[in-house]
Structure 1
Amino acid sequence: MAETQREIERKFEFTHGDGTEGGGAGPGRGGRLPDLTGTAGITEVRAEGTVRLDAVYYDTPDRRLAAAGLTLRRRTGGHDAGWHLKLPVAPGVRDEIRAPLADTPPRALTALVRSRVRGSGLEPQVRLGSERVVSHLLDARGDFLAELSTDTVRAERGTAVATWTEVEVELGDGVDPALLDAVEKRFRKAGLRVSDAPSKLARALAETGAAPAPAAAAVEEPPEGTAGAHLLAYLREQRDALIALDPAVRLDLPDSVHQMRVATRRLRSALATHRRIIDRATTDPLREELRHLAAELGADRDREVLLERLRTRLGELPRTLLHGPVRSRLRTWNAARRSATRRRAVAVLDSPRHLALLDALDALLADPPLRAPASRPAGRVLPKAVLRDWDRLAHRVGAALDLEPGEERDLALHEARKAAKRARYAAEAAAPALGKPARRLARAAKNVQTLLGEHRDGVVTREALHRLALQAAGAGESSFTWGVLYGREEEVTARCERELPAVWAEADDPALRAALT
């Protein structure tokens, strides 16, 4: 079973000066470490001895993991021998996922890199042997602050060999990262600097002369400032987010499903909005695949949103209206749904259909089927596309308001909500090229989307409350509380419908649209 550990660390190397000072924690190549006692609350530097580590790093033949800042290694020696996958979180911060030692990469880790590896396979790339001198940095109470290590490294890639020494300071759990700044300041005075290499693997590949990963055949990019260049940059950003979020969804990290679903929807919306820029004969099948992915991910995301809403609504009720074991009923209901929706979300990421979608997105961006408007200035092409989506929203809002309250209107308002989201995405995507007018239109669309989203949540919550009431009654429990909440959700949806005309009138300001052109 894999386990996750957050690493917050900083790597250093000696400059050409020897940086010699007394009281060092261990020898370095070309110098010694300064005594850190008295730095940022460090009162003791306790020597922990020397360990020898041997690690083989795995990657695809074209080194996709390294290009994305990920490392996968099999390491022996030390207290944490086994397989390690490191995922970048922020500069100097990585999540290390560990799995027990085995001869081949364990599935628990290969699944987390599937969105990048796909069908390429993993193979050894470089071997690193390290002699590590370890010290613990302790405070006045003897509590652990950080581990200080000096590594003498030997990298082997085929017949190529490189050696170097680096110093690493890794914080203990919950320790203020300001400690690293203080240590860095002390180290700089002693002739050390922050390492330029983001990881041992990156340095090993560079210093053993690893050739750059083979590049795809060059395709002429549309000139900067054109509609095509703007669209492709946006599509690449969302494609990259879709790939990068894959391990977060598998690890069930907070908001990860939502963020992946947003990237999926932004991609799909952009391909629809800009069908005059990029050939829809190619993009329509992709839009359908993106729709399928969003729907599959939506089951888990919708469960999360609904659970939080129901918990909030229960918390708002006075105790006199809580009849029966309503909270345990809600937990039971959610547990049954969560197991199914989590399996569904992970299964879709493992499916050949999903990997084919990622390949198709790569192919689209490698050789985009651009149409004539792609070569025109973005400032001339994008406003028309954004306003087409706004007109679509206006039509759907008007059609919904013409209906009487009821199921048909609920469905029409849901369609209007989707149109509001598309109009918002179109304006947000155009903002880097069109500036303030696009941002203002995006905010107006978001206001409409928010109100319609509240209405949709009320409709969906009523449906869930009806099912919960039936389950409670079937188990011999009181369904009174679920009925009370149902009535409150009816009030919510009715309020949203009353407010929509005014919210829409404010959003659909002719001056906003005029400013865009």
Structure 2
Amino acid sequence: MGIEIEDKFDVPADFRLPDLSGLAEVAGPKSFQLVALYYDTPDLRLARRGVTLRRRRGGADPGWHLKLPKAKGVKQEIAVPLTRSTKTVPAELAELVRAYTRGAELGVVAELDTRRSVTLLKDGDRELVEIADDRVKGTVFGAEPTVTRWREVEAELREGDEKLLAKTGKRLRKAGAAPSPATSKLAKLLAPPPIPRADVEPGTAGHAVLAYLAGQVAALLSQDPRVRREEEDAVHQMRVASRRLRSALKAFRSVVKDTAGIQEELRRLGGVLGEVRDLEVIRARLARELAGLPAGLVVGPVHDRLGDDLLRREQRGYDAIRNALGGDRYYALLDALDALVSRPELGKAAADPAGARLGRLAAATWDRVVKAYDAARAVDDPERRATAMHDVRKAAKRARYTAEALRDTLGARMTELAESAEAVQEALGARQDGVVAQETLAREAGAAREAGEDTFTYGVLAGLERAAADRAHEDFPRVWSEAAARAGKAL
């Protein structure tokens, strides 16, 4: 797997590569031929999302390549060795695009036959930037195959820095190259239709809310392949996207209507993701604390129990995630999210000017935090108060997500409100994390005791967690006072 950072340029047939000396040592050009078959669904679901899946022969890296968009000009590339079959996509790659294919069959949709001339910018043995001058013959398969020919240049970052890539691009532009609007050769060849978006009047509440929802749907989709590969932080990012979507649909229900079913499915998805995320957090937390203890306080195989045992539970959680991401129910949710941003049910508030309407909604979410905290302080029973404070945390998280959703529309005051709500959320979360850690330690200590192991270290760690939770609890009134004052000024 690698990250691909490149700039693409359209060039005329008689284009001449400029003199690149002075940027770095120049090597080449070296020429070879590449033949790639591209796979997609009949309605081009991959191409429409900027995803490419190909089987390529020739060049330095033959094989199956899956390219997933990460940002403008940046793609994540996953490669597996060539297989004999041209009809069947390797299972591990087909799995990674399931959020896009959603059960539809993958097949060959196009072929690119490229005669490539490569020039390298080098520093000794280090390849800094690769400039590929490509003459392309593209064939789109169908009832009557069509052929298109063109020439383009790509400057791809290898071991150099982005300043060198920018300087290379400047030289190419001066020589007559024009930045290409196409994200890939395949996109240029197929010209897939864009993802549909609802036609809503700019400046209205509906326009602002739908733009935010579309961004979060894209964020959720982009994390799906990373979660399937168990990449670092992917579960967290996908869970956050699902929570942001659910929170926005609740907060903006007067703008976008009839989303209760989507909210419930997002809640279910967040719950499945949450089990693994919580285990990731607690395992890392306990590992840090354990590493900080003097050697004399670490007794017995505690590293194994708090490391390997929790890791095995994570793996079981990933099995549950894969099951959740592999069925018709998940595909139906993704279809519903696509429909949400392309054909939403809009309420009357959607036509209101964004500033006034959405400002009131943001204020209402903070009012819920204040009311929840007032209610919690009125509870005398410690156990019931803990539950009530959890409600405060949930309200603060919703207020934060709502304010963050409106930053582009309402500006700096939403940043102030979001940071106020985040401070409340994190302060209460610190206490909750300590409580959860104590429960985990008690469970693992019980298992150790049954196995005849010394449980002294679990007690030490539990004491540290208890102290941390108590500190967070004692400090909360100060956090609340500062956050409430800051939110009041923002609103």
Q: Distance in 2 between matches of 1:7 and 1:428?
A: 30
Q: Distance in 2 between matches of 1:51 and 1:196?
A: 26
Q: Distance in 1 between matches of 2:373 and 2:326?
A: 38
Q: Tell me how far 1:168 sits from its aligned partner.
A: 3.4
Q: Tell me how far 1:464 sits from its aligned partner.
A: 0.8
Structure 1: which 5+ runs fail to align? 16-28, 207-211
Question: Which structure has the larger Rg over C-alpha atoms?
Answer: 1
Corresponding position: 1:228 with 2:206:
yes
Which residue pairs with 2:4 in the alignment? 7
Q: Indicate the SS of the match to 2:325.
A: helix
Which residue pairs with 1:360 in the alignment? 336
Which residue pairs with 1:45 in the alignment? 27
Deviations 1:322-351 (A, max 9, x none): 222322332222221121122222222112
Q: Indicate the SS of the match to 1:300.
A: helix
Q: Distance in 2 between matches of 1:381 and 1:13?
A: 45
Q: Distance in 2 between matches of 1:190 and 1:232?
A: 42
Bigger drift between 289-298 and 429-438 goes to 429-438
Which residue pairs with 2:443 in the alignment? 467
Q: Indicate the SS of the match to 1:124.
A: strand
Deviations 1:17-38 (A, max 9, x none): xxxxxxxxxxxx52543454x4
The aligned length equals: 485
**Selected match of 2:64 from 73, 78, 83:** 83
Deviations 1:428-457 (A, max 9, x none): 223333333333222211111110010110
Counterpart code for 2:334:
L
Counterpart code for 1:45:
A
Q: Distance in 2 between matches of 1:406 and 1:287?
A: 32
Specify whether residues 179 and 372 from structure 1 end up closer, same or farther in structure 2 by C-alpha distance, changes over 3 A only.
closer
Counterpart code for 1:9:
E
Structure 2: which 5+ runs fail to align? none
User: Conserved in 1, the CA contact under 8 Å of 2:24 and 2:121?
Assistant: no
Which residue pairs with 2:241 in the alignment? 263
Corresponding position: 1:213 with 2:193:
yes
User: Conserved in 1, the CA contact under 8 Å of 2:243 and 2:266?
Assistant: yes
Corresponding position: 1:350 with 2:337:
no
TM-score (norm 1): 0.85
Which residue pairs with 1:116 in the alignment? 100
Q: Tell me how far 1:276 sits from its aligned partner.
A: 2.8
Which residue pairs with 2:75 in the alignment? 94
User: Conserved in 1, the CA contact under 8 Å of 2:206 and 2:346?
Assistant: yes
Q: Tell me how far 1:490 sits from its aligned partner.
A: 1.4
Specify whether residues 143 and 225 from structure 1 end up closer, same or farther in structure 2 by C-alpha distance, changes over 3 A only.
closer
Corresponding position: 1:153 with 2:136:
yes
Deviations 1:3-27 (A, max 9, x none): x233333344545xxxxxxxxxxxx
**Selected match of 2:255 from 272, 277, 284:** 277
User: Conserved in 2, the CA contact under 8 Å of 1:46 and 1:138?
Assistant: no
Counterpart code for 1:178:
K
Q: Tell me how far 1:143 sits from its aligned partner.
A: 4.0
Which residue pairs with 1:400 in the alignment? 376
Specify whether residues 367 and 331 from structure 1 end up closer, same or farther in structure 2 by C-alpha distance, changes over 3 A only.
same
Which residue pairs with 1:254 in the alignment? 232
Counterpart code for 1:328:
D
Q: Distance in 2 between matches of 1:504 and 1:337?
A: 36
Counterpart code for 1:175:
G
Which residue pairs with 2:388 in the alignment? 412
Q: Indicate the SS of the match to 2:432.
A: helix
User: Conserved in 1, the CA contact under 8 Å of 2:204 and 2:352?
Assistant: yes
User: Conserved in 1, the CA contact under 8 Å of 2:48 and 2:194?
Assistant: no
Which residue pairs with 1:170 in the alignment? 156
Q: Indicate the SS of the match to 1:245.
A: helix
Q: Distance in 2 between matches of 1:435 and 1:8?
A: 31
Q: Distance in 1 between matches of 2:481 and 2:126?
A: 61
Counterpart code for 1:162:
T
Q: Distance in 2 between matches of 1:497 and 1:357?
A: 39
Q: Indicate the SS of the match to 1:127.
A: strand
Specify whether residues 130 and 278 from structure 1 end up closer, same or farther in structure 2 by C-alpha distance, changes over 3 A only.
closer
**Selected match of 2:412 from 432, 436, 455:** 436
TM-score (norm 2): 0.90
What is the RMSD computed on CA atoms of the aligned residues? 2.7
Q: Tell me how far 1:58 sits from its aligned partner.
A: 2.1
User: Stretches of 4+ moved more than 6 A in 1?
Assistant: none
Counterpart code for 1:152:
R
User: Conserved in 2, the CA contact under 8 Å of 1:423 and 1:445?
Assistant: yes
Specify whether residues 492 and 146 from structure 1 end up closer, same or farther in structure 2 by C-alpha distance, changes over 3 A only.
same
